[in-house]
């Protein structure tokens, strides 16, 4: 199979998938995994896809948020590892403001048996904690966004402003050294900004696929974050640069 034919197969596989794996593409095209990786690099250079560990994902426009269910099915093991490390950084008895998103949902699951107070900013996380015997839950107001079930708007902001938290655990739509933390949705960005303002410290949970990208709405500069928990696919040079700026970067 010629290179153009292989790349067409890759593009067609991506159209109907959340993520494609190098091994699967090698089997589909009859090429070696090394050849497939070169094809993926070429397509990534042309903006057709984005490379991730072990394969590739479709490129999503900066103004479009991928569906919650699609994100939930992507990188589950990595998100669980990140969530476990984030949860270990929270002490018993602390008050936690927990952001919306798929990684934050995993953090909620790790906190179920911990004696902590949590205000979840999504109904997904709230449902994960509602019957946890050791967790005290505070529910904000707000209008849940369809699919995402993130709570935002004036009611959510008013609830948050009346409280103070030990730690804000934020999820990442996109993150880069230049653009900082950004969000797809304007109301989501506003909620994240308020979370930072009312919390003594912050932890950003951002797997490597979120690094080097920017979405529509600015949340904060990269060095405004206290700590970042990520995985080994996050660019090592950027991790070192963030450490030089005083941001603690932990790899799950």
25/141 Cα distance (integer angstroms): 46
pLDDT computed for residue 230 by the predictor: 96
Query: Measured in Å, how far apart are the chain's first and last C-alpha atoms?
Result: 39
Task: List the chain domain ranges.
Answer: 3-58, 68-251
Residue 188 CA: distances (Å) to CA of 32, 34, 102, 126, 137:
43, 40, 14, 17, 21
For 153-156, the CB contacts below 8 A with 24+ separation are: 153/187, 156/121, 156/191
In this predicted model, what pLDDT tens digit does every residue of 117-173 receive, in sequence order? Answer: 999 999 999 999 999 999 999 999 989 988 889 999 999 999 999 999 999 999 999
Q: Which two tokens stand for residue 162?
A: 């009346």
Domain formed by 3-58, architecture: Orthogonal Bundle (1.10)
Q: What is the pLDDT of residue 65?
A: 66
What is the CATH code for 68-251? 3.40.50.1360
Write out pLDDT tens, residues 70-92.
Answer: 667 677 889 999 999 999 999 99
Helix or strand holding residue 104 (H, E): helix 102-110
- pLDDT given at position 53: 84
Helix (H) or strand (E) holding 54: none
């Amino acid at each position: 199979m010629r290179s153009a034919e292989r790349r067409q197969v890759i593009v067609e596989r991506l159209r109907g998938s959340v993520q494609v794996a190098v091994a699967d593409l090698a089997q589909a095209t009859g090429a070696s995994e090394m050849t497939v990786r070169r094809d993926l690099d070429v397509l990534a250079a042309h903006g057709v896809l984005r490379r991730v560990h072990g394969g590739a994902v479709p490129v999503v426009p900066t103004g479009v948020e991928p569906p919650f269910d699609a994100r939930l099915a992507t990188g589950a093991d990595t998100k669980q590892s990140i969530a476990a490390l984030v949860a270990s950084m929270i002490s018993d008895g602390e008050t936690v403001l927990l952001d919306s998103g798929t990684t934050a949902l995993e953090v909620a699951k790790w906190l179920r048996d911990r004696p902590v107070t949590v205000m979840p900013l999504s109904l997904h996380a709230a449902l994960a904690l509602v019957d946890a015997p050791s967790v005290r839950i505070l529910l904000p107001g707000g209008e849940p966004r369809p699919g995402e079930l993130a709570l935002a708007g004036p009611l959510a902001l008013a609830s948050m402003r009346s409280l103070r938290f030990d730690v804000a655990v934020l999820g990442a739509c996109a993150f880069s050294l230049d653009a900082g933390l950004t969000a797809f949705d304007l109301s989501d960005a506003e909620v994240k900004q308020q979370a930072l303002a009312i919390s003594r410290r912050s932890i950003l949970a951002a797997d490597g696929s979120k690094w080097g990208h920017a979405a529509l709405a600015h949340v904060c500069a990269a060095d405004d974050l206290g700590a970042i928990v990520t995985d080994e696919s996050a660019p090592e040079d950027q991790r070192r640069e963030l450490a030089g700026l005083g941001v603690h970067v932990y790899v799950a």
